[in-house]
Amino acid sequence: MTKLMVDIRLDPDRRLKLVHGDLAEARVDVIVNAANAQLQHGGGVAGAIVRKGGRTIQRESDAWIREYGPIAHDRPALTTAGNLPSQFVIHAVGPVWGEGDEEKKLHAAVFHALLLADKHNFKSLALPAISTGIFGFSKELGARTILDAILDYLQGHPETSLEEIQVVLIDQPSIDVFKKEFLKRWSESEK
């Protein structure tokens, strides 16, 4: 089940949405996978994406690592999406809580995922709450940092091809935190 929770029109050409649903089912040009640096998609969001999208995603990820080496916060990878409704997957590595500079690293992961999407002229993108699951980043700080990165990117790239960015979350606790952050930034009258 997919449910639109918040829909913000940032300007005539840009929308930011909060969606309660399964990222692997998002009908967008590209989804962002919350990956590890080695692109081994065993658990969490990454595992779910490969289970639904097929082994092609893991094979392409392995080929990426062989050719370019591990991904970094500011250097995501791009693969096709296999059997998913989206066409592509951007694999972005977020920080593990406690490694230092976590906010800066999470901001970089989101910002550079958007930059890569823009480089490929994608119009729609969906991303999860990177690092707020098994990587231990707090949901509240994650929501602020992810939204800051999205807004910083859009403000710095007014010519972006991206017309719609969705934050897609499957669990109610994450939805509650992100919805609160969305509504703190945009009043109901601005929707």
Q: How far apart are CA 146 and CA 142, in angstroms?
A: 6
Q: How far apart are CA 158 and CA 139, in angstroms?
A: 28
pLDDT (0 to 100) of residue 44: 84
Q: How far apart are CA 50 and CA 89, in angstroms?
A: 10
What residue spans define the domains of the chain?
3-186
Tell me 169's DSSP state. Answer: E
* 3 strand-pairing partners: 20
Residue among 28, 49, 30, 29 nearest 39 (CA): 49
pLDDT (0 to 100) of residue 189: 42
- Crossing angle, helix 55-68 and helix 44-53, to 10 degrees? 120
Residues of the chain with pLDDT under 70: 188-191
* 34 strand-pairing partners: 92
Average pLDDT taken over every residue of the chain: 94
pTM of the model as a whole:
0.95
Helices and strands in the chain: count of H runs, count of E runs = 5, 7
pLDDT (0 to 100) of residue 97: 93
pLDDT (0 to 100) of residue 191: 43
pLDDT (0 to 100) of residue 190: 47
Q: CATH homologous superfamily of domain 3-186?
A: Leucine Aminopeptidase, subunit E, domain 1 (3.40.220.10)
State both tokens at 56.
């092609």
pLDDT (0 to 100) of residue 152: 97
pLDDT (0 to 100) of residue 134: 83
Strands (E), the chain: 3-11, 14-20, 30-35, 77-80, 88-93, 124-127, 164-169
